[in-house]
A and B are shown apart, each in its own frame.
Chain A
Amino acid sequence: MPIIPAELVHANVSLSIDEVHQRLLSGRTLLDHTADHLLEVVGVLESYGEVLDAYSRNLIYQAEHQFLNPLPIFKYLDGDLSPAKIWRHLNHDRINFEYAEYCMKGMLWHGTGGLDAYLDSDFFAVQCGSVIAAKSRRDPLLSLLKLVAPGFLPEQIRTAATTHALGQFWRVMSDLFLDLAAAEREATVRSIADVVDFIKQGLVAAAANPITYAVRIGDRQHWILPPEAGLTFLVDVAVPYVEAVFLRGMPFLGTVSFNAQAQQISPDQAQFAYGALYADPLPSMGAGIPPSLLMQDMYRHLPKALHDWYLQRGRGAGDVRVKICRSFQKSMFCVTNAAINGTMPHPLDSDDPAHQAANAAYARAWATRLSAGRTDCLAAG
């Protein structure tokens, strides 16, 4: 048996169900407060905010201006066709919008929550019908497709609707994370608890924001997600997003075999555990690991303090994107923490035993799911 130098291998302790449960109920944050943690979380969320800003703008641009475009060659250029921009695009000196589409696809495919239910409603079918009718009047290809593949266009419109909704969601989150960074610079946010609280306040404030989406065809506005549908930020978009991206996720081709005979992937999507809170940071930037794109985007927008902090650790710039992934996972636990706190059925300090029991059951359900995730990242240095 060879002797492995102990300092080369390291494992952090995961949180138990009871520990998570207890922390959620007591209002203690999942991530303990240290100066390093604060730097990591706020710094990573700041770069994430920058990236989300670009993602959000592009998703909204795609949904509004590339709607049902069969050859959306310039969909990542946001309408700016200057040679400089095209060159940057060709040189791949750009944000990886593919990752934003990947998250959108995850949301669409897992299909949970209010937005998804709306996309199956008769009301949506009616809206869809009028949009298709308007659009295919001027487009022979679409009218042909409408005939031979009646399911095609509604599915594309559902995709566009999800794209737009995710764009709106990220708009809010981007502003929130950038505000958080500003607040930390102004020293109004000084601890991890403040961070969680700040995000919670932001989510609560945006909770009832309406989610709407309309496209212009000719000179008429067509509603796809009309205000009457009553879709709102938190329950109809944020919660499905957390379910699809943070929790379930999609199996990575780089770590899971899709071979049907190997049966590595559950037939039940609800059993999936590939999301951001579950993923293994170590293979980041390897082959077949889509979040590598996000890590690269954040790497290009790191605030200086955090960048320097990374350079002093591990391999410095050599493994910076794995370190970003770790910090990102920590910050996503903070965001989840805030979301759970914000959606607790009753205030934590309530004295009513019924309230307490409801809170406990809610916290227990979350603890069960979260404790299977990579809570070990919370203890990582």
Chain B
Amino acid sequence: MHRIPRLSAALPLPLQLTWLIPIYGFSGMVLSLPWATGWIKRNGPRPAAYLNLLVTLLAVLHGSVVIRMVSELGPQHLEFSWFQATDLNLRIGFDLSLTNLAALELVTTMSLVCQLFALGYLDKEWSLARFYALVGFFEGAMSGVVLSSNLFVSYFLLEMLTLSTYLLVGFWYAQPLVVTAARDAFLTKRVGDVLLLMGVVGLSAKAGSLEFTDLYSWAAHARESGAIGPLGACLLGLGLIAGPMGKCAQFPMHLWLDEAMEGPNPASILRNSVVVTCGAIVLLKLMPVLVLSPLAIQVLLAVGSISAIGGALVALAQVDLKRAFSYSTTSYLGLVFIAIALQKPGIALLFLFAHGLARALQFMSVGSIIATTTCQDLTELGGLGSRMPATALAFLVGSAGLVGLLPLGCFWCYGLIVHTLLPASPGFVAVFLITNLLTAANVVRVFRSVFLGPVMPKTRRAPEVIWLMALPMVSLAVIVLLLPWIMQRIDPVPGIASFPLPVGLGVAASGLAGVLVGCLLPQDQFWSRSSQVSLRVLQDLLAYDFYTPVIYRATIVRLVAGLARATRWFDLTVVKGLVDGIGRLSLVTAEGLKLSVSGQLQTYVLTLVLAIVLLLGVLQWARIGI
């Protein structure tokens, strides 16, 4: 009799079937197809939305059952063979640890909340089925990424995320700016992905297995054993961080997040909260490999710092409601990068949780504002506060959850990281506090111009959004308010409050300073530009994102386009010219040949015979020569 392995026999069924959780999302996509492709023509597309909500709910429930079981039985590992040939063994592996599962719950819950929100936000959308199909695909890929115990699977799914980001940004494909935005979103991420693929392929060839645990033990000995040289390690490290950099919209690959704001708001909610989180989680899992390359760590720190402060500054100068916060996402992920690079994975994870939920809430309130006012220009908004209480509440709670001032999610993260970094790297503490200050200033600035101030023409009639949007918004606000308690449960040791009071006061002081700055900042009015030249230059520099799109166009785009044009010229002039020239020389009757079919055949046979004779002659000669 075959002996059943003890471990799998001991695992309860819901645990063994955890691999289904990503499949739920993908199945949502498949279930939507009859409506998305227009096979069902007489009835509307809403059943696709309901089916997606249902499978996502299933994913949430299954996930919570798994969490309960794992917290009893301890972490588990699931593995399936996928592709095996010669010395290559590609496996699908899932790590069912509490942190992974918490991230999974974040992904599926956010997906559920967003899908509910989208039912309201996109209530007039006839392509609803396509949207839900894409969100289902998105959710499936993200669930897989956070559970994955294997770099190959992570890469596989990250690329699927790139594809679904492209399709979601391109959702309103007929809108002129979407055409370029979707393309740029895909290509920017793709650059990161190709570099990551180089790293993955290299690692696979060097280390053999792509399981993270195997990679860790390989990396621990790689330097001593000489498995990889300093240059190789360097390139490997840079390749591996490029993927997460692209996914997390870090400088200089942050461009896509701005452009992705052309997509529907519910997708923006997911992108700004959980997609970036997925990228950071992959980086987190790669970290023990990255220690091979000190340069990669330095680059991570530099990129993180520039993104944190640069992103926060650019956010301050945006007049577009969505962009004001998407740059802030870049900024916060910069902070997470710093935390990861400084080997503080626990705090980085907490940061990701706190940020993801609060940012999603903030973006939901942004969606409500856009849906109500048909406008996302800060200069045209104002005075919404008393008429949209749910939206204002969501905005306030979301923003408070992000800023280190009130004792909500991010405050505790700030406290922890400042406390741990203070002795060794005070410079990075400054980065954190400055970012906190700038973020606080930004949210206060936006709050003032949206919710306070005089009523503007486009905000004159602003009823609160319908319940399908308000309900998920208020529920998420409650979750964000409860977040410190949840965080304490996820990471009970040493506890989220394990920093001294002065540190907390310092963080709160930076937040408070930011609030003050935000209160004092002059408000944008119809594209006001400062009359002072130096200030105006700075203002434009930030408003146009350090002219990054221009720089891209002047460098990479120009290079590729130039090379492409040069190749085309070479192909037409040199290669084709040469071929045509030889053709004209050798076939005197070329013109006649073009016309007569039999002439061509004859020439063909003639040349064939001639060439064979010639070749044989050459061979004969060669033989003698040899």
- Expressed in whole angstroms, the minimum distance between the Cβ of B135 and any Cβ of chain A is 14
Q: Is B386 an interface residue (CB 8 A)?
A: yes
Q: Is B623 an interface residue (CB 8 A)?
A: no
User: B172, A254: Cβ atoms under 8 Å?
Assistant: yes
* Interface pick from A151-159, A191-199, A227-235, A350-358: A151-159
Cα A266 to Cα B323 with chains together (Å): 19
The one of A92, A99, A250 that contacts B374, using a Cβ cutoff of 8 Å: A250
> A70 to chain B: which residues have CB within 8 Å?
467
Q: Is A129 an interface residue (CB 8 A)?
A: no
Q: Is A311 an interface residue (CB 8 A)?
A: no
User: A292, B126: Cβ atoms under 8 Å?
Assistant: yes
User: B386, A150: Cβ atoms under 8 Å?
Assistant: yes
B371-403 contacts to A (CB < 8 Å): 373-380, 385-389, 392
User: A152, B387: Cβ atoms under 8 Å?
Assistant: yes
> A317 to chain B: which residues have CB within 8 Å?
41
- Expressed in whole angstroms, the minimum distance between the Cβ of A263 and any Cβ of chain B is 8
User: B388, A152: Cβ atoms under 8 Å?
Assistant: yes
User: B124, A93: Cβ atoms under 8 Å?
Assistant: no
The one of B130, B320, B392 that contacts A261, using a Cβ cutoff of 8 Å: B320
Interface centre among B50, B124, B457, B526 (most CB of A within 10 A): B124
Cα A149 to Cα B386 with chains together (Å): 4
- Expressed in whole angstroms, the minimum distance between the Cβ of A93 and any Cβ of chain B is 5
As a 0/1 sequence over residues 243 to 255 of chain A, the CB contacts with chain B under 8 angstroms (1 = contact) are 0000000110111
User: A152, B174: Cβ atoms under 8 Å?
Assistant: no
* Interface pick from A172-180, A280-288, A337-345: A280-288
Q: Is B171 an interface residue (CB 8 A)?
A: yes
> B176 to chain A: which residues have CB within 8 Å?
257
B148-183 contacts to A (CB < 8 Å): 171-178
Q: Is A293 an interface residue (CB 8 A)?
A: yes
User: A96, B44: Cβ atoms under 8 Å?
Assistant: yes
Q: Is A300 an interface residue (CB 8 A)?
A: yes
- Expressed in whole angstroms, the minimum distance between the Cβ of A325 and any Cβ of chain B is 12
> B173 to chain A: which residues have CB within 8 Å?
286-287
The one of A152, A288, A293 that contacts B389, using a Cβ cutoff of 8 Å: A152
User: B467, A72: Cβ atoms under 8 Å?
Assistant: yes
* Interface pick from B308-316, B341-349, B458-466: B458-466
User: B462, A287: Cβ atoms under 8 Å?
Assistant: no
User: A151, B386: Cβ atoms under 8 Å?
Assistant: yes
- With A267-B377, A288-B125, A293-B124 known as contacts, the answer to whether A257 contacts B175 (CB < 8 A) is yes
**Minimum CB distance partner of B261 in chain A:** A259
User: B319, A260: Cβ atoms under 8 Å?
Assistant: yes
> B463 to chain A: which residues have CB within 8 Å?
108, 155-156, 158-159
> B45 to chain A: which residues have CB within 8 Å?
92
Q: Is B370 an interface residue (CB 8 A)?
A: yes
- Expressed in whole angstroms, the minimum distance between the Cβ of B361 and any Cβ of chain A is 18
A274-299 contacts to B (CB < 8 Å): 283, 285-290, 292-293, 296
User: A71, B471: Cβ atoms under 8 Å?
Assistant: yes
**Minimum CB distance partner of A92 in chain B:** B44
- Expressed in whole angstroms, the minimum distance between the Cβ of B121 and any Cβ of chain A is 10
- With A155-B462, A260-B378 known as contacts, the answer to whether A149 contacts B125 (CB < 8 A) is no
Determine the main DSSP class of A at the interface with B. Answer: loop
Interface centre among A109, A159, A292 (most CB of B within 10 A): A109
- With A109-B374, A152-B464 known as contacts, the answer to whether A254 contacts B44 (CB < 8 A) is no
- Expressed in whole angstroms, the minimum distance between the Cβ of B42 and any Cβ of chain A is 6
As a 0/1 sequence over residues 108 to 125 of chain B, the CB contacts with chain A under 8 angstroms (1 = contact) are 000000000000000111
Chain A interface size range:
35 or more
Q: Is B321 an interface residue (CB 8 A)?
A: yes
User: B458, A90: Cβ atoms under 8 Å?
Assistant: no
Cα A149 to Cα B396 with chains together (Å): 14
> B458 to chain A: which residues have CB within 8 Å?
109, 267, 269
Q: Is A98 an interface residue (CB 8 A)?
A: yes
- With A158-B461, A267-B526, A287-B174 known as contacts, the answer to whether A300 contacts B126 (CB < 8 A) is no
> B378 to chain A: which residues have CB within 8 Å?
260
Chain B interface size range:
35 or more
User: B261, A269: Cβ atoms under 8 Å?
Assistant: no
Q: Is A182 an interface residue (CB 8 A)?
A: no
Cα A260 to Cα B174 with chains together (Å): 19
As a 0/1 sequence over residues 450 to 479 of chain B, the CB contacts with chain A under 8 angstroms (1 = contact) are 000000011011111011000100000000
Q: Is A258 an interface residue (CB 8 A)?
A: yes
Cα A28 to Cα B562 with chains together (Å): 59
- Expressed in whole angstroms, the minimum distance between the Cβ of A126 and any Cβ of chain B is 19
Q: Is A91 an interface residue (CB 8 A)?
A: yes
Cα A149 to Cα B389 with chains together (Å): 6
**Minimum CB distance partner of B177 in chain A:** A257
> A134 to chain B: which residues have CB within 8 Å?
none
Q: Is B47 an interface residue (CB 8 A)?
A: yes
User: B319, A261: Cβ atoms under 8 Å?
Assistant: yes
Q: Is B127 an interface residue (CB 8 A)?
A: yes
- Expressed in whole angstroms, the minimum distance between the Cβ of A154 and any Cβ of chain B is 8
> A151 to chain B: which residues have CB within 8 Å?
385-387
Interface centre among A102, A259, A296 (most CB of B within 10 A): A259
> A98 to chain B: which residues have CB within 8 Å?
123-124
Cα A149 to Cα B387 with chains together (Å): 6
- Expressed in whole angstroms, the minimum distance between the Cβ of A104 and any Cβ of chain B is 10
> B460 to chain A: which residues have CB within 8 Å?
111
Q: Is A214 an interface residue (CB 8 A)?
A: no
Q: Is B419 an interface residue (CB 8 A)?
A: no
Q: Is B105 an interface residue (CB 8 A)?
A: no
> B392 to chain A: which residues have CB within 8 Å?
149
User: A269, B262: Cβ atoms under 8 Å?
Assistant: no
Q: Is B62 an interface residue (CB 8 A)?
A: no
> A283 to chain B: which residues have CB within 8 Å?
174
> B380 to chain A: which residues have CB within 8 Å?
267
Q: Is A265 an interface residue (CB 8 A)?
A: yes
Q: Is A349 an interface residue (CB 8 A)?
A: no
> A92 to chain B: which residues have CB within 8 Å?
43-47
Q: Is A372 an interface residue (CB 8 A)?
A: no
- With A109-B461, A155-B464, A259-B320 known as contacts, the answer to whether A93 contacts B375 (CB < 8 A) is no
User: A285, B174: Cβ atoms under 8 Å?
Assistant: no
User: A262, B125: Cβ atoms under 8 Å?
Assistant: no
> A251 to chain B: which residues have CB within 8 Å?
374
Interface centre among B41, B378, B379 (most CB of A within 10 A): B41
Cα A149 to Cα B348 with chains together (Å): 37
User: B44, A296: Cβ atoms under 8 Å?
Assistant: yes
Cα A335 to Cα B41 with chains together (Å): 29
- Expressed in whole angstroms, the minimum distance between the Cβ of B453 and any Cβ of chain A is 14
- With A148-B389, A267-B377, A293-B126 known as contacts, the answer to whether A257 contacts B464 (CB < 8 A) is no
- With A260-B319, A287-B130, A290-B124 known as contacts, the answer to whether A254 contacts B387 (CB < 8 A) is no
The one of B178, B373, B457, B464 that contacts A156, using a Cβ cutoff of 8 Å: B464
Q: Is B407 an interface residue (CB 8 A)?
A: no
Cα A283 to Cα B462 with chains together (Å): 29
User: B174, A288: Cβ atoms under 8 Å?
Assistant: yes
As a 0/1 sequence over residues 62 to 86 of chain A, the CB contacts with chain B under 8 angstroms (1 = contact) are 0000000011110000000000000
Residues of B within 8 A of A (CB): 41-47, 50, 123-127, 130-131, 171-178, 261-262, 264, 318-321, 323, 370, 373-380, 385-389, 392, 457-458, 460-464, 466-467, 471, 526, 543
What 7 A-B pairs come out closest when comparing CB atoms?
A92-B44, A151-B386, A260-B377, A149-B389, A151-B387, A260-B320, A287-B127
Residues of A within 8 A of B (CB): 70-73, 90-94, 96, 98-99, 101-102, 108-109, 111, 145, 148-152, 155-156, 158-159, 250-251, 253-262, 264-265, 267-269, 283, 285-290, 292-293, 296, 300, 317
Jot down 22 A-B pairs with beta carbons below 8 A, ordered by A. A71-B471, A72-B467, A93-B43, A111-B461, A149-B389, A150-B386, A152-B387, A155-B387, A257-B262, A259-B262, A260-B377, A265-B377, A267-B377, A267-B379, A269-B458, A283-B174, A287-B125, A287-B174, A289-B126, A293-B126, A296-B44, A317-B41
Given contacts A152-B464, A258-B370, 16 further A-B contacts (CB under 8 A): A73-B467, A92-B44, A148-B389, A155-B462, A156-B463, A251-B374, A254-B175, A256-B175, A259-B320, A260-B323, A260-B379, A261-B320, A287-B126, A287-B127, A288-B125, A290-B124
